[in-house]
Amino acid sequence: MTARSATPARIAVLVSGSGSNLQALLDRIAHEPGFGGEVVVVGADRDDALGLTRAREAGIPTVVQRLRDHPDREAWEQALRHDVAEQRPDVVVLAGFMKILSATFLDGWPGRVINTHPSLLPAFRGAHAVREALEHGVKLTGSTVHLVDELVDHGPIIAQRAVEVRPDDDEERLHERIKTVEHDLFPTCVGLLCRGQLRVDGRTVTVLPAPEPSAAPPLTDQE
């Protein structure tokens, strides 16, 4: 593993919609001394994503790459990666980003791309996790934060938190309760990654003790 600078990790956040997880992250960074990271760019695949407005109001640079503006998905992804890489991020955060990223993109930040998903993975992967949990009749679902690999909702799991499915739940009500959990769990895991407190062995993620206040908080790559 490679130690990095004691300065805060540079975070790029990718969004497609309202950016509520982005806002939760920004709020946590603002109120938690020693969080270990700062958001330096917010990217989106839609120019009407509310998350872009949140970023601009916070004074954070934004970039937009729409898939339809490119001849194919590969060209779109290359353009997005170029825009993100210009801000030299150490960590890439997928906060409601609804596009699948290939290994070509992920290889730019090995072991340092993080995502949140509204189910207890490996159950209910994909874009309709809340609906499918209700259809399946499960009694518990929840939120999972994981590192990203080239498969959908598949990478090593950092943390999970359960949410009860109530008899009167519909998709909207259940999703809102999952988001409440997510807005706490997700920034917590991003902070752990920024401070170098995650060790990955295969599919097992171990949370390491916090560094001493006098020590430089290393950001570590997977070997």
Range(s) of the domain holding residue 60: 9-198
The catalytic site residues sit at 117
Q: Band the pLDDT of 217: cuts 50, 70, 90.
A: low
Q: Band the pLDDT of 74: cuts 50, 70, 90.
A: very high
Quick check: is 215 in a domain?
no
Q: List the structure tokens of 217.
A: 């908080």
Pairing of strands 140-147, 113-117: antiparallel
176 backbone dihedrals φ, ψ, rounded to 5°: -65, -40
CA 95 to chain CA centroid, Å, is 5
Query: In the predicted model, is pLDDT for residue 4 greater than 70?
Result: no
Quick check: is 204 in a domain?
no
Quick check: is 193 in a domain?
yes
Which pLDDT value is given to residue 3? 40
Quick check: is 168 in a domain?
yes
- Segment 142-182, tens digit of pLDDT: 999 999 999 999 999 999 999 999 999 999 999 999 999 99
Strand, helix or coil for residue 170:
coil
Strand order of the β-sheet with 204-207 is 62-64, 37-44, 9-15, 91-94, 113-117, 140-147, 157-164, 204-207, 198-201
Q: Band the pLDDT of 210: cuts 50, 70, 90.
A: confident
Report the CATH number at residue 175: 3.40.50.170
Angle, helices 129-136 vs 171-194, to 10°: value is 130
Query: In the predicted model, is pLDDT for residue 134 greater than 80?
Result: yes
pTM of the model: 0.91
Quick check: is 49 in a domain?
yes
179: nearest Cα among 136, 11, 187: 187
Rounded CA separation 5/2 (Å) = 10
Quick check: is 222 in a domain?
no
Which pLDDT value is given to residue 1? 29
**DSSP single-letter state for residue 156:** P
Percent of the chain whose predicted confidence (pLDDT) is above 90: 91
Number of domains in the chain: 1
Quick check: is 101 in a domain?
yes
Number of helices (H) and strands (E) in the chain: give both, helices first.
6, 9
Strand, helix or coil for residue 172:
helix
Quick check: is 52 in a domain?
yes
Residues in contact with 50: Cβ distance below 8 Å, sequence separation at least 6, in sequence order: 17, 18, 19
